[in-house]
A and B are shown apart, each in its own frame.
Chain A
Amino acid sequence: MTDDELVEQVTGAARPEPVADELRYLPAWHDLDAAGRDRAFARARVSRRLEAALDPDGLSTTARAVLARISGTLRR
Chain B
Amino acid sequence: MRADLDIHLAAIVGGDAAAFARWLAGAEPVVRATLASFAAAVDVEVILQESLVRTWQVAPRFERDGEPNGLLRLAIRIARNLAISEVRRTKALPVELRDDADALGDDVAPPDPLLRRAIADCHGKLPARPRSALDARLAAVARDDADHASALGMSLNTFLQNVTRARALLADCLKRAGIAVEELV
Interface residues of A (CB under 8 A from B): 1-2, 4-5, 8-15, 18, 23-26, 29, 34-35, 37-38, 40-41, 43-55, 57-71, 73, 75-76
What would 21 A/B residue contacts be, using CB atoms closer than 8 Å? A5-B160, A9-B160, A11-B163, A12-B137, A12-B145, A13-B49, A14-B145, A23-B43, A41-B36, A49-B181, A52-B25, A53-B111, A58-B110, A61-B141, A62-B45, A62-B49, A66-B28, A68-B141, A68-B142, A69-B53, A71-B17
Closest 7 CB pairs of A and B: A41-B39, A34-B40, A25-B43, A49-B184, A8-B160, A58-B25, A63-B24
Contacts of B143 in A (CB 8 A): 14
| A43 closest partner in B (C-beta) | B167
For the residues of A in contact with B, the DSSP-based class is: helix
Cross-chain contact A52 with B110 (CB below 8 angstroms) = yes
Question: How far is A69 from B45 in the complex, measured between Cα atoms in Å?
Answer: 14
Stretch at the interface among B3-11, B56-64, B65-73: B56-64
Contacts of A37 in B (CB 8 A): 39-40
Cross-chain contact B115 with A59 (CB below 8 angstroms) = no
Question: How far is A66 from B53 in the complex, measured between Cα atoms in Å?
Answer: 6
| A69 closest partner in B (C-beta) | B53
Contacts of A57 in B (CB 8 A): 21, 25
Contacts of B163 in A (CB 8 A): 8, 11-12
For the residues of B in contact with A, the DSSP-based class is: helix
Contacts of A41 in B (CB 8 A): 35-36, 39, 44
| A5 closest partner in B (C-beta) | B160
Question: How far is A62 from B52 in the complex, measured between Cα atoms in Å?
Answer: 10
Question: How far is A52 from B24 in the complex, measured between Cα atoms in Å?
Answer: 11
Cross-chain contact A63 with B25 (CB below 8 angstroms) = yes
Question: How far is A68 from B164 in the complex, measured between Cα atoms in Å?
Answer: 25
Q: How far is the CB of B174 from the nearest CB of chain A, in Å?
A: 9
Question: How far is A45 from B103 in the complex, measured between Cα atoms in Å?
Answer: 13
Cross-chain contact B170 with A50 (CB below 8 angstroms) = yes
B33, B86, B145, B164: the one contacting A45 at CB < 8 Å is B33
| A23 closest partner in B (C-beta) | B46
